[in-house]
Amino acid sequence: MTRAITTGLATRTDLLLTGISQLVTAEGAPARRGQRMGELRVIPDAALAISAGRVQWVGPARDWLPVGGAPARELDLGGAAVVPGLIDPHTHTVWAGDRLADFEARAAKTSYEEILRAGGGIRSTIRSTSAEMPRELARLAAPRIGALLRSGATTIEVKSGYGGSTVAELTMLEAISLLSAEQRAHHGARLLATLLIHLPPPARSSTRPSAPPPESRSRQQFLARVCGELIPAAARRSLASAVDVFVEREAWTVAEAERIFATARSCGLAVKLHSDQFHSIGGVTLAVRAGALSVDHLEAADEEEIRALAHSQTIATLLPGVSLHLGLPAAPGRRLIDAGAAVAVGTDLNPGSSPLFSTAAALGLAVRMNGLTLQEALVAGTVNAACALGLSDRGRLEPGCIADFLVLHSSDWRDLVYVMGANPVAAVWIQGRRWKDDTRRASTSEHVGISSDEPQAETVR
Ligand SMILES: [Zn+2]
């Protein structure tokens, strides 16, 4: 196939990229579902023209015809493969403290109960995070964003959820807003903030993870503050574009999530869920009924949930880093796609259950653990992940789309999901500009100052 497409606009080309061994992209919005998730356009010996930060033309290099005069600049990529910038639709990148002691204890077969008694577990992350100010939270999170970007993520969703009170959740959202401004100033990734209503307050005088029952007063008061103060404040201050609820036996019920969703909608915010991570308690049905952008996790989803998702517009987001880190069964990715669902993949980067700092690696894990094909994994990490965030202007390299793309170290795009333990991404381009990597390397706790410039052989003509 030697099809070439242009926008038809006679605007001058800012940049023409040639020497592309393969340009690989999904075509057309919206989300790809079922067997269409396996359809990619692979253009050998391709060229990519960019104008005003958007894709102007893409096709076989021999078909390129200058529009509006010769390109202002040409760049030969020397035979590298090019794919769309990845989209990480699910991260908890902002936190303080670390969970290294938990990891060490788990590796020594210590029970979760004992870890909690020793002061570990998610409540410890909530304690450390809620004690910090926005600027410090942003400082801690910046190298983690840098790691995701370096691994190919050009758009990243970041959730609150470790605050545990109205003030602390808003503080987390302010930290995300600071990070977002910093990324914009450095022509980095686009960040999308989500307000996560994570856990009900803990049962009184207990270190156990259990929450008080739905009818308890403290829980009802907490929920009233979420709906009466927190969500309206986040919306009023434009600190979040969506509200996420953790629906699980030890977290929120379907009825409570429904009330939270009603508030979110009335405030003009999109909705999504963490659901079916450990138990199926009706979260998927709620997601479909509420028109949620996505329902994420799904490790415990069975036939009924799979069928419901296959017949809905809601994206099924898989988080294989969690299955790997906790040693739990992976979500039924293969069965979801075979049934006709639209699947996305994210890192779920967080200190407790998924210290996965690479969006590209999440796609490789989805192949190995969730049964996706290589083609499906790329679609799940690009165009479908964009849909999981309500975006349709990115995740593919077609005229008019934002020119976010990756130049790989390899001439074969499949290395993106094949390579383990090294970064297959040689260069990240955002809105037609090469991202300058001046962030520090990420650590789960404090970051260390190691310079990270990876020189790339490029020829400017
Ligand atoms: Zn999560």
158 C-alpha vs ligand 1 centroid, how far in Å?
10
246 C-alpha vs ligand 1 centroid, how far in Å?
8
* Domain ranges across the chain: 5-84+397-434, 86-388
- Band (207; pLDDT cuts 50, 70, 90): low
| Dihedral (CA of 169, 174, 178, 184) sign | positive
Please give the Cα distance from 342 to 56 (Å, whole number). 28
Task: Extract the tokens encoding 54.
Answer: 């958007």
Burial of 137: CB neighbours in 10 Å, binned 0-12, 13-18, 19+: buried
- Distances, alpha carbon 258 to alpha carbons 196, 298, 329, in Å: 14, 19, 28
**β-pairing verdict for 190-197 and 153-159:** parallel
**β-pairing verdict for 15-25 and 41-51:** antiparallel
Residues 57-83 as b or e (16 or more Cβ within 10 Å = b): bbbbbeebeebeeebeebbbbeebbbb
CATH of span 86-388: 3.20.20.140
Examine domains 5-84+397-434 and 86-388 and report if their fold is the same: no
How many Cβ atoms sit within 10 Å of the Cβ of residue 9?
15
| Dihedral (CA of 86, 91, 96, 97) sign | negative
420 C-alpha vs ligand 1 centroid, how far in Å?
23
Q: What is the pTM of this model?
A: 0.93
pLDDT for residue 6 is more than 60 = no
pLDDT for residue 339 is more than 50 = yes
Question: What pLDDT, on a 0 to 100 scale, did the predictor assign at position 205?
Answer: 57
Question: CA 51, 57, 61 angle in degrees (round to 5)?
Answer: 120
* Residue 99 or 451, more confident: 99
Give mean pLDDT, residues 57-81: 94
> Identity (one letter) of the amino acid at 62?
R
- Band (440; pLDDT cuts 50, 70, 90): low
Q: Which CATH superfamily is domain 5-84+397-434 in?
A: Urease, subunit C, domain 1 (2.30.40.10)
Question: What pLDDT, on a 0 to 100 scale, did the predictor assign at position 212?
Answer: 84
pLDDT for residue 48 is more than 90 = yes
pLDDT for residue 368 is more than 90 = yes
| Dihedral (CA of 410, 41, 345, 436) sign | positive
> Do 416 and 21 touch, CB atoms closer than 8 A?
no
Of 5, 1, 91, 2, which is closest to residue 396 (Cα–Cα)?
5
Query: Residues near 54 by Cβ (< 8 Å), separated by ≥ 6?
Result: 399, 400, 401, 402, 403, 431, 432
Strand partners, 274: 246, 296
> Do 110 and 337 touch, CB atoms closer than 8 A?
no
Task: Extract the tokens encoding 261.
Answer: 């969703």
Task: Extract the tokens encoding 227.
Answer: 């709906």
Question: What pLDDT, on a 0 to 100 scale, did the predictor assign at position 208?
Answer: 56
Give mean pLDDT, residues 390-413: 97
178 C-alpha vs ligand 1 centroid, how far in Å?
21
Question: What pLDDT, on a 0 to 100 scale, did the predictor assign at position 441?
Answer: 65
Question: What pLDDT, on a 0 to 100 scale, did the predictor assign at position 374?
Answer: 98
271 C-alpha vs ligand 1 centroid, how far in Å?
14
Please give the Cα distance from 85 to 383 (Å, whole number). 10
- Band (435; pLDDT cuts 50, 70, 90): very high
Task: Extract the tokens encoding 323.
Answer: 């299955």
pLDDT for residue 112 is more than 90 = no
To which H or E segment does residue 426 belong?
Answer: strand 425-430
- Band (342; pLDDT cuts 50, 70, 90): very high
- Band (168; pLDDT cuts 50, 70, 90): very high
Give mean pLDDT, residues 146-155: 98
Out of 213-217, 243-247, 294-298, 403-407, least confident range = 213-217
> Do 43 and 83 touch, CB atoms closer than 8 A?
no
Instruction: Name the percent of the chain lying above pLDDT 90.
Output: 83
- Band (109; pLDDT cuts 50, 70, 90): very high
21 C-alpha vs ligand 1 centroid, how far in Å?
36
252 C-alpha vs ligand 1 centroid, how far in Å?
14
* Residue 402 or 200, more confident: 402
Residues with CB under 5 Å of ion ligand 1 are 348
Question: What pLDDT, on a 0 to 100 scale, did the predictor assign at position 31?
Answer: 87
